[in-house]
Amino acid sequence: MEKRIIINSVNEIIELGKRLGELAKPNMVYALNGDLGAGKTTLTKGIAQGLEIEGIVNSPTFTIMKIYYGRLPLFHMDVYRINQETEDEDLLEYFEMLGLTVIEWANNIKDMIGEVLNIDITIIDQEKREILIHSLNEEYFEVINNL
């Protein structure tokens, strides 16, 4: 199942993220992909709002993961520096800790994560983005249908 959404501003990315956070259930995994500057971290900021997380959410590029607490814990990972050869399988334990895992640059570890909710962000111009949200896992169909 898939849904394509055209986003016209940073505020719309935040609002989409907020809805994704509101729809999240324990142990879900959102896999974000897109070029540098596409809006992966901005979307994650919105997801954090939907999870009722207060405080600043920023990219964990150099730490690989940051944990935030709200309605559900948010395990925010940036695996830009990880590839199939340098996989860190310890990260997988967070997928089963009753929170929401959001992975930026998820294609770098796609063989590790299985079928999750994939969110592919394509830059159209400075503000405009096309977002493809898709999954073959029925667990995520309700999220896709309610966006």
Q: What's the CATH code of the domain at 138? A: 3.40.50.300
Maximum CA pair distance of the chain?
38
Instruction: Give the other-Cβ count within 10 Å of 61's Cβ.
Output: 13
Cβ contacts of residue 142 below 8 Å, gap of 6+? Answer: 23
pLDDT band at 73 (very low <50, low <70, confident <90, very high): very high
Q: What is the pTM of this model?
A: 0.92
Average pLDDT for 1-7: 98
Phi-psi category of residue 4: left, alpha or beta, with phi > 0 → left and psi -120 to 50 → alpha: beta
Note down the domain range covering 48: 2-145
Count of domains for the chain: 1
Q: Kindly report the average pLDDT of the chain as a whole number.
A: 91
What was the pLDDT predicted at 87?
53
What was the pLDDT predicted at 124?
97
One-letter identity of residue 29: V
On the question of pLDDT at 88 being above 60, the answer is no
